[in-house]
Amino acid sequence: MPTSKDVAQAAGVAQSTVSYVLSGKRPISEKTRKKVEDAIQQLTYQPNAGARALASRRTRVIGLVIPFIPELHMASIMEFVSVIANTARLYDHDILLVTEDEGAPGLQRVVGQQICDGLILMQVEGDDERLPVVRSLHVPVVLIGIPHDPSGLVCIDADFEMAGEQCVQDLAAAGHTVISVLDWQPEVVDRHVNYVERFMSGTNKAAETLGVKVLHLPGGTDREVIGESVDKALAETTGVPAFIAPDGTVQDVLRRVLTSRGLTPGTDVSVIGSASPTLAELQPIPLSTIDLRPAEVSRRAVKIICDLLEAENQGPTESLELVPTVITHRASTLRPPHGS
């Protein structure tokens, strides 16, 4: 592997000049710049990341802490990961995976060994045990998810409250007066991620404002449970029933249960599910969907951390960003409640 020294020699300049050509931190004459760039081309020189990190105290690597909980609808997690990795490249950074299995010590490890300059944590719980460690780390950290006490932390998440509101507004606008909301799976609720309550609070708020009734029913992946929830909903509804199922996995089960009851979403029952546009396309049954915009959340998380890394001299930043939700209406839109 050629080094900057080789390039310098080939170009007939000092090694430091090569460095300055690359970094642009000092004016270089056209002549020498060209000589150096040619030499770089010839030798297919690429700077050594380790040496660069050692000298500059910047690795240009961001640690990404990913959850692996089978209940969490892996497909959407994968979308976060993919967008985060691609966005990081736009800012000339790379992503190092840190699995949740490593826990808080894992964070101390990658930061302590200076493998990465900052961290992004996904799926942050309300009372996440890693928060004390995060606060003690002397590098920028961005949380995806809002903990109960976000003081001193930089957080970002989709605006679940607005999502809840919009779902109810949409169904109310379609004429529904009774709306059933299926809860997330118990596994998610138990993690105390507070987006659950934020979403529910949004539905209640809209319900109150609009004078419609919202039924909160148990969710889960258990067909029986969903079956009961659906029956309860049907019993309390006259006309076309309406469901909101924010949890992707619950939504899958709901769809099956409705089908087995002879109900076709979009025709004799209104359903709003949740899915990113990308994934929504794959759904065999088109639904109205809430787009919680994972891609947007991911992009902004990366931008925030890169900005923090750029300006790592200012005082401690404390911010809390919410990304607005969007509702996408697809092939089968919402129906009026009495069969139109």
285 binds, among DNA, its own copies, none (CB under 5 to 8 A by kind): its own copies
What is the smallest separation between the CB atom of 212 and its own copies, expressed in angstroms? 30
* Piece in contact with DNA (CB under 7 A), picked from 5-13, 173-181, 211-219, 327-335: 5-13
Strands 270-274 and 213-217: unpaired
Contact with its own copies (CB under 8 A) among 14, 33, 43, 79: 79
What is the smallest separation between the CB atom of 308 and its own copies, expressed in angstroms? 19
* CA 226/CA 218 separation, integer angstroms: 7
**Chain-centre distance for alpha carbon 296:** 8
Does the footprint of DNA cover residue 59 (CB under 7 A)? no
- Closer to its own copies at the Cβ: 108 or 177? 108
Rounded to whole angstroms, what are the CA distances from 294 to 18, 63, 65, 301?
Answer: 41, 18, 16, 10
Site string for its own copies, 87-126 (x = CB under 8 A): --x----xxxxxx-xx-----xxx-xxxx-----------
Site string for its own copies, 122-161 (x = CB under 8 A): ----------------------------------------
**Chain-centre distance for alpha carbon 163:** 15
Classify residue 302 by burial, with Cβ atoms within 10 Å: 0-12, 13-18, 19+: buried
Q: Do residues 2 and 48 touch, judged by C-beta distance below 8 A?
A: no
- Closer to DNA at the Cβ: 54 or 331? 54
Determine how many CB atoms are found less than 10 A away from the CB of residue 309.
17
Q: Do residues 296 and 131 touch, judged by C-beta distance below 8 A?
A: no
27 binds, among DNA, its own copies, none (CB under 5 to 8 A by kind): DNA
What is the smallest separation between the CB atom of 92 and DNA, expressed in angstroms? 12
Greatest extent of the chain over all pairs of C-alpha atoms, in Å: 85
25 binds, among its own copies, DNA, none (CB under 5 to 8 A by kind): DNA
Contact with its own copies (CB under 8 A) among 15, 82, 201, 317: 82
- One-character DSSP codes across 252-275: HHHHHHHHHTTPPBTTTBEEEEE-
| 19-58 residues near DNA, rule: CB under 7 A | 19-20, 22-23, 25-29, 31-33, 45, 47-48, 51-52, 54-56
